[in-house]
Structure 1
């Protein structure tokens, strides 16, 4: 008796066509003529790229499969790179990333996704008032920065409404660099912090992020939102992350009065207003590595120690008791550790 659907006497056994009648090949195109471009924004499977100073549109080549392509990626492209209306290039390779900013949708959802690539500075934009600061969201953004190997920068807006000192005392012991801005104020210090770097701006809606972007890159014209007087929350004004080139700016005058050298422009990546920043992917051992002095104090911690405040015999507690650790710095680090779970609201 034959096995399966047909016996050896059934004509279908002989005549049924086989799959893959063509021989498989291991040859792959080399794309030696591919050009280097950078991803500016992503919209439903279409990518806007910057190539030699001009914008063009592209799709992902099939061999890339499910590999993600995100804003900030350096990619190699082939096909129609003219940038003319209706033209489409193909992305055939994503260059290895130097950093990735990742987030999980929620803390009980371990699936993480990369939202920005190749940024070296994460600028956490928060208003001092209208809307009120949300330290928990700041903490979680800082954790994301440290985890990704990016330098954090705290940008406090609307300083004309409230003294920044109260909020700054919370972060001073962590050594987080900061700048303060106010409506219509001078942005020289912020520009200096952004010059020559690729910075990704994150912040809750309504904190003044789009206003900053418009001031830094006047041609950007990112839509400015308004804070709801009842809920204190802003409406989302940007729907997708967007890479923008910062204009070069003249440096300070030389002692003889001649113009200074131009400051490097750099790049900023504006992101949509973020309401949650899931951090399920961040491990305690990864976070403490961002603080080498504290990391060194945990060398003799018991196996599996998370370095939290309830851990028995944690090296951080020993160091505080011996006077070799700044208690405020330890408390602040543990606050970041605790911020990996919970909600941003």
Structure 2
């Protein structure tokens, strides 16, 4: 005979086997809504640095230009925010020490410079958003210039819609004419500098009105050049190992610096002439995310010849009736052109192998 609780057993009735207890669920009882604030009073700012979940932004409004530190809103937790992004801020936008604004929206990007760890990696590493120029910094010597790496930079620039520039440093150590001959047909603007002496006036004119991302192999003098262009930028500089010939990584994050008339990055009352975006030095630049058609964009000097290739031509040395082979046999391309063809085929082949 089963035992049932009586009225006198009421204090213990809740422990009986036949009693089903309902556990409270605070989340289920919480009112839910998909409506979100419109944030009509949000201010648009430019992200100039990212560090462990905190975003340093440049905000210009009726109160002037100032630096505002922000965190992103919960609804943006799966959205990548990088240097160069235009974001909308709410909350404390005074820029006072200890203040923290909130990023509630990321505006549409005009350009996006990306790279991968290597050509077999399909995971994109976003470097910078909304830049319109790329300054490729190479050294004439110490470390030796790498034609293949510059080709990769050019492919990434054209793929992202950026206009490339080349700055050759340390030209007092060796003549860069042979190296530059590889890119002469591209008509890319070139700037030359000796050790510690940069063409600041010419570079400033080329950078004015643009957001320029600086890229380069470690040890080529990229940080030194930026310190010369933007006094008080205080970018750490390194040296080249005399044994390995490799530079030491100094810049560890991507930072946008204002290029202003008096050369001071702290002159917030002035509108910047442009933006100098420093990136960490790299020894490789993967193009795993780039399509074969985008690779061809980096070789505009070969475009007229490639147009004569048969339909479906892969432009490799094993491709039948490739117009590049005929041009090489006839000597139409010269030594520099032959090197360019080799670079193109190497990039396409490495991508197919990966």
User: How high is the TM-score relative to the length of structure 1?
Assistant: 0.83
Please say if residues 173 and 332 of structure 1, whose CA atoms lie closer than 8 Å, have aligned partners that are also in contact.
no
Structure 2: how far apart are the matches of 1:32 and 1:316? 57
Q: Report the structure, 1 or 2, having the larger helix content.
A: 2
Q: Using a 3 Å threshold, how does the CA distance of structure 1 residues 264 and 17 change in structure 2: closer, same or farther?
A: closer
Structure 2: how far apart are the matches of 1:29 and 1:120? 33
Which residue number corresponds to residue 14 of structure 2?
Answer: none
What per-residue deviation string (whole Å, max 9, x for no partner) do you get for residues 279-317 of structure 1? 111111123246668556656755543333332233555
Q: Using a 3 Å threshold, how does the CA distance of structure 1 residues 130 and 318 change in structure 2: closer, same or farther?
A: closer
Please say if residues 134 and 214 of structure 2, whose CA atoms lie closer than 8 Å, have aligned partners that are also in contact.
yes
Q: Using a 3 Å threshold, how does the CA distance of structure 1 residues 133 and 318 change in structure 2: closer, same or farther?
A: closer
Specify which of 280, 287, 293 is matched with residue 285 of structure 1: 293
Specify which of 72, 78, 81 is matched with residue 84 of structure 2: 72
- Secondary structure of 2:28's match? coil
In structure 2, the gaps of 5 or more residues are: 1-16, 264-269
What per-residue deviation string (whole Å, max 9, x for no partner) do you get for residues 224-244 of structure 1? 111111111111111111101
Specify which of 207, 214, 217 is matched with residue 201 of structure 1: 214
Please say if residues 249 and 265 of structure 1, whose CA atoms lie closer than 8 Å, have aligned partners that are also in contact.
no
In structure 1, the gaps of 5 or more residues are: 1-8, 251-261
- Spell out the pairing of 1:1-345 with structure 2 (5 A cutoff): 15-16=22-23, 20-52=28-60, 53-185=65-197, 186-248=199-261, 265-289=273-297, 295=303, 298=306, 301=309, 304-314=312-322, 316-317=324-325, 329=337, 332=340, 335-336=343-344, 338-339=346-347, 341=350
Q: Using a 3 Å threshold, how does the CA distance of structure 1 residues 298 and 24 change in structure 2: closer, same or farther?
A: farther
Please say if residues 49 and 83 of structure 2, whose CA atoms lie closer than 8 Å, have aligned partners that are also in contact.
yes
Which residue number corresponds to residue 9 of structure 2?
Answer: none
Structure 2: how far apart are the matches of 1:134 and 1:296? 26
- Secondary structure of 1:51's match? strand
Structure 2: how far apart are the matches of 1:308 and 1:175? 25
Please say if residues 151 and 298 of structure 2, whose CA atoms lie closer than 8 Å, have aligned partners that are also in contact.
no
What per-residue deviation string (whole Å, max 9, x for no partner) do you get for residues 26-56 of structure 1? 3121110100111111111111111122112
- The Cα of 1:129 is off from its aligned counterpart by 0.8
- Secondary structure of 1:218's match? coil
Structure 1: how far apart are the matches of 2:128 and 2:276? 11
User: How high is the TM-score relative to the length of structure 2?
Assistant: 0.81
